[in-house]
Amino acid sequence: TMRTLTDPALLKTQSFIDGAFEGDGCVAVTNPATGETLAKVPDMGADEATRAVEAAAAAFHPWAARTAKQRSAILRAWFDLIQANREDLATILTSEQGKPFAEALGEIDYAASYVEFYAEEAKRVMGEILPSHTADARLLVLRQPIGVVAAITPWNFPAAMITRKIAPALAAGCTVVVKPAPETPLTALALAELARRAGFPEGTVNVLTGDAVAIGGVLSSHPKVRLLGFTGSTAVGKMLMAQAATTVKKVALELGGNAPFIVFDDADIDAAVDGAIASKYRNMGQTCVCTNRIYVQDGVHDAFVARLAERVAALKVGDGFEDGVVQGPLINDRAVEKVESHIADALAKGAQLVTGGKRHERGRTFFEPTVLTGVTADMLVASHETFGPLAPVFRFSTEEEAIAAANDTEFGLAGYFYARDAGRIFRVLEALEYGMVGINTGAISTELAPFGGIKESGNSREGSHHGIHEFTELKYGCLGGL
């Protein structure tokens, strides 16, 4: 059962296709903190996905033909509705995902910020007139919406991963088909209901629940889908990229990370501990930009570990609706087993347990926030994303050694470091092979900046003025005979 909402009509349990909610609920959505069934949503497949794509394709030209200002006004209305309903949205989010309610409110505000930003940015998609190769011609460059956009999104940010993709797409003049994660469809459907109320025309926004493989198969292969946006695991992203190749779709991927967090001898240690807590334990460690490896220089190692451990041991674990809780349950058993396997592997290879280390006494998927020291490159945590509340601390001596270790991964999403020396700050910033670097901060995400990775962490940017360009095509018009 769902907690009482101020507006119970926001609890939608049907998929949203071509402007209508439809389908019978059969797949249970569960509260990870309690195990309760919250609702049942339809198990849609290839047929419904095809219908949704066709509805989006039919809606595309009229939507693209509206003026940017008209699209902007509807996005702005959607933003206002998300803000006005933030408590209900956060309630739905915490219920199906588990993160503490305060964090869920933060996510709703963050999700809304993309809608607000791209409502504004819709009006600033510019073309160009380039210098010509002949006197009697002009070279025109148009930026046009790419077409139908499909978005496949994960459970760790049930709201923000959707708005971050579809707000810029809609602003640019694209129409969208969203497949949220099966763990967290209710937040997505509530956002769809608010989009409906905001006045998006039928078919402009579609949300499908159900069979990931069948729906994903259509979204990655239907010729009318021109861009596939995906946030999720690297394995699934690579597969979708391969499937999208058959119709030469653009793919915008945000995949896994293996974020290093480096603390140099000249760092402000208290600030570094704050940053480590923020970047490691947000969402119980279940974000793609979460710190995965902490490297601490010899001179400050012991002081840093002592302070970190004290803070981590004090993190309150429990149901996200309880006061003061900052660590909810992990999403499922598989997530817990991965954390356990990383801890067991590290301990077997000589790491030391400083705090935590096991399932929390509350049972279910609650896990004790954990710190390990004496971690080395041969341990699983060095090369694999834990995606849970485990902070492994490596010790290092030189700057070169830290940079080499930090870059020794196929991933390149986010990295962090703490230092005060200006020369070092520039050297390390330039040397880190990551799409995003937090310097003396563990909180980098904002709609104002381009979020995204390099190497096997992805190939696109979401947020900022760059984010809307992903959803446009350049058209060159050569106007001759002047």
453 touches ligand ADP by CB under 6 A = no
Both tokens of residue 30?
Answer: 């569960």
Closest by CA to 160, choosing from 100, 106, 226, is 106
User: Could you tell me the smallest distance in angstroms from the CB atom of residue 253 to ligand ADP?
Assistant: 11
Site size with ligand ADP, rule: CB under 6 A: 13
CB nearer to ligand ADP: pick between 145 and 237: 237
Indicate the pairing of strand 37-41 with strand 27-30: antiparallel
- Rounded Cα–Cα distance for residues 208 and 215 (Å): 8
154 touches ligand ADP by CB under 6 A = yes
Segments in 37-176 forming alpha helices (H): 46-65, 68-84, 86-97, 101-121, 160-172
- 222 to 261: interface string for ligand ADP, x by CB under 6 A: ----------xx--x---x---------------------
β-partners of residue 479 are: 138
The one catalytic residue among 48, 54, 103, 254: 254
β-partners of residue 475 are: 142
User: Could you tell me the smallest distance in angstroms from the CB atom of residue 135 to ligand ADP?
Assistant: 53
- Reduce the DSSP state of residue 174 to 3 states and report it: coil
27 touches ligand ADP by CB under 6 A = no
Out of 216, 356, 415, 435, point to the residue binding ligand ADP (CB under 6 A): 216
CB nearer to ligand ADP: pick between 113 and 231: 231
182 touches ligand ADP by CB under 6 A = yes
25 touches ligand ADP by CB under 6 A = no
152 touches ligand ADP by CB under 6 A = yes
Stretch 385-414 residues interacting with ligand ADP (CB under 6 A): none
Out of 31, 113, 153, 163, point to the residue binding ligand ADP (CB under 6 A): 153
One DSSP character per residue, 94-121 reads HHHH---HHHHHHHHHHHHHHHHHHHHH
| Close Cβ partners of 347 (under 8 Å, ≥ 6 residues apart) | 353, 372
Residue written as token pair 């570094």: 272
Integer-rounded Cα Rg, in Å, for the chain is 23
| Close Cβ partners of 348 (under 8 Å, ≥ 6 residues apart) | none
CB nearer to ligand ADP: pick between 233 and 440: 233
User: Could you tell me the smallest distance in angstroms from the CB atom of residue 152 to ligand ADP?
Assistant: 5
399 is catalytic: no
Residues that bind ligand ADP (CB under 6 A): 152-154, 179, 181-182, 212-213, 216, 232-233, 236, 240
